Amino acid sequence: MTGIAKPDNRPQNPNFSSGPCSKRPGWSLEALADAPLGRSHRAKVGKAKLKQAIELTRDILKVPADYRIGIVPASDTGAVEMALWSLLGERGVDMVAWESFGSGWVTDVVKQLKLKDVRKIEAPYGELPDLSTIDFDRDVVFTWNGTTSGVRVPNADFIPADRKGLTICDATSAAFAQEMDFSRLDVVTFSWQKVLGGEGAHGMLILSPRAVERLLTYVPAWPLPKIFRLTSGGKLIEGIFSGETINTPSMLCVEDYLDALNWAQSIGGLDALIARADANAQVLFDFAASTTWLGNLARVDETRSNTSVCLTIIDPDVAALDADAQAAFAKGVAGLLEKEGVAFDIGAYRDAPSGLRIWCGATVETADLKALTPWLAWAFETQKATLSRAAA
């Protein structure tokens, strides 16, 4: 027994995972009753559902009318890889990374595509690199929101309107939660499983007219597998951007995405989604500021994510431990909360500094985050007492 009293209130929904993320409030399987299960995705009903998903995505995200939106395989990863393999190589590329997924794209470009003219512009977890050093005469690849570091770009002002290269943006934990200026972005990717809490395995690929022009005028030196091919006979495969997917999608997952999009539209669209995420993140920012043991991994206020909030344990006694012991302490805190059923899957990403990562996207209720904070304090104090007994 620790002697530390447990809080009285519990979150109604303990799902704070950063992907797949929590379902929308009030979600149930009954919401998917209209899914055309057992039917072909190429049947009239299947195509109509897929086209509707694209149109609602455009409407809610405020994607310009001349941008193409396609549903592609393999989640956000598949969408990013499709862009990298189909578009890069025409000119030099600046790879901008400050967390694990951005670093993964660097590895793909350098070690798999083996491009020679690559500049790496990187920063450690918790920081943004110097964005002024990016050369936009080159292609640029970056994540808008670092899911594993909780660090995001504050806006798109660092991208010039008259750039010569393409900007390829992995926006998987930013889309539907943060303002993005599409006029500065040529490729935007995300997955259904993040901000809207959809199911995994499906990605979204958004292309500007400039990106389409590149596809039509540039042929990569390497072969492209079927699931990466966006052109045929020198022309864009337009069907991809009207619901004729490259491979077979799950119509159950499509229905789930449509349910999330309709919910988003019903609460006020993008502005309401952003407001919910901002309010959620602020609960954790305020709580961390009120403690002496919890800090934000993101060092600068304006670059702190409002979705994947990454927190570090800064208590002096814990900070004095070696890295393995610090990681074990943080895992112990997360484990206590999972055992109590008040917070699932909130440990830091495996490659990130030890700590907690708590999803604050729009599908999470602010009241649940407020109910969680006393439990965070309880779990820390309980784990600290265990540490003290072990040291005695």
**Delimiting residues of CATH 3.90.1150.10 domain(s) in the chain:** 269-391
What letter represents residue 172's amino acid?
Answer: T
pLDDT at 2: 47
Query: Region 224-232: what's the mean pLDDT?
Result: 96
For the stretch 250-309, pLDDT in tens is 999 999 999 999 999 999 999 999 999 999 999 999 999 999 999 999 999 999 999 999
What is the dihedral sign for C-alpha 41, 46, 47, 51?
negative
In CATH terms, the fold of domain 269-391 is Aspartate Aminotransferase, domain 1 (3.90.1150)
Q: Which CB contacts under 8 angstroms, 24+ apart, belong to 1-10?
A: 2/381, 2/382, 2/385, 2/386, 3/385, 4/378, 4/381, 4/382, 4/385, 5/378, 6/340, 6/375, 6/378, 7/371, 7/374, 7/375, 7/378, 9/371, 9/374, 10/340, 10/341, 10/342, 10/371, 10/375
Spatial CB neighbours of 90, under 8 Å, sequence gap ≥ 6:
139, 214, 218
Looking at domain 29-265, its CATH class is alpha beta
Kindly report the pTM of this predicted structure: 0.97
Q: Which CB contacts under 8 angstroms, 24+ apart, belong to 223-228?
A: 224/85, 224/86, 227/72, 227/73, 227/74, 227/78, 227/82, 228/81, 228/82, 228/85, 228/86
Give CA–CA dist 249/20, Å, rounded: 17
For the stretch 297-312, pLDDT in tens is 999 999 999 999 999 9
Query: Region 166-182: what's the mean pLDDT?
Result: 98
- Of the pLDDT bands very low, low, confident and very high (cuts 50, 70, 90), residue 3 is low
- What's the burial of 296, exposed, middle or buried (CB within 10 Å: 0-12/13-18/19+)? buried
DSSP structural state of residue 111? I
Percent of the chain having pLDDT more than 90? 97
Comparing C-alpha atoms, which of 207, 203, 209, 173 is closest to residue 191? 203
Query: Region 153-158: what's the mean pLDDT?
Result: 98
User: Residue 150: how many CB atoms within 10 A of its CB?
Assistant: 34
Kindly tell me if the per-residue pLDDT of 391 is higher than 90. no
Kindly tell me if the per-residue pLDDT of 97 is higher than 60. yes
* 8 A C-beta contact, residue 10 and residue 390: no
Kindly tell me if the per-residue pLDDT of 102 is higher than 60. yes
* 8 A C-beta contact, residue 186 and residue 163: no
What letter represents residue 302's amino acid?
Answer: E
Spatial CB neighbours of 83, under 8 Å, sequence gap ≥ 6:
168, 187, 189, 205, 211
User: Residue 344: how many CB atoms within 10 A of its CB?
Assistant: 14
pLDDT at 251: 98
Tokens 């490259």 correspond to what residue? 246
Query: Region 165-194: what's the mean pLDDT?
Result: 98
pLDDT at 1: 40
Question: Does an H or E element contain 276, and which?
Answer: helix 269-290
For the stretch 111-128, pLDDT in tens is 999 999 999 999 999 999
167-170 vs 139-143, strand pairing mode: parallel
Chain-wide mean pLDDT for the chain?
97
Query: Region 29-53: what's the mean pLDDT?
Result: 97
What letter represents residue 239's amino acid?
Answer: G
- Of the pLDDT bands very low, low, confident and very high (cuts 50, 70, 90), residue 389 is confident
Give CA–CA dist 150/308, Å, rounded: 5
- Of the pLDDT bands very low, low, confident and very high (cuts 50, 70, 90), residue 388 is confident
pLDDT at 162: 98
What letter represents residue 125's amino acid?
Answer: Y
- Three-state SS string over 162-213 comes to CCCCCEEEECCCCCCCCCCCHHHCCEEEEECCCCCCCCCCEEEEEECHHHHH
Tokens 């069907």 correspond to what residue? 239
Tokens 């570091």 correspond to what residue? 149
Kindly tell me if the per-residue pLDDT of 373 is higher than 90. yes
**Delimiting residues of CATH 3.40.640.10 domain(s) in the chain:** 29-265
Kindly tell me if the per-residue pLDDT of 158 is higher than 50. yes
Query: Region 355-384: what's the mean pLDDT?
Result: 98
- Whether cis (ω within 30° of 0) applies to the bond prior to 20 is yes
Percent of the chain having pLDDT more than 70? 99
- 74 HSE (CA, 13 A, CB side): 10
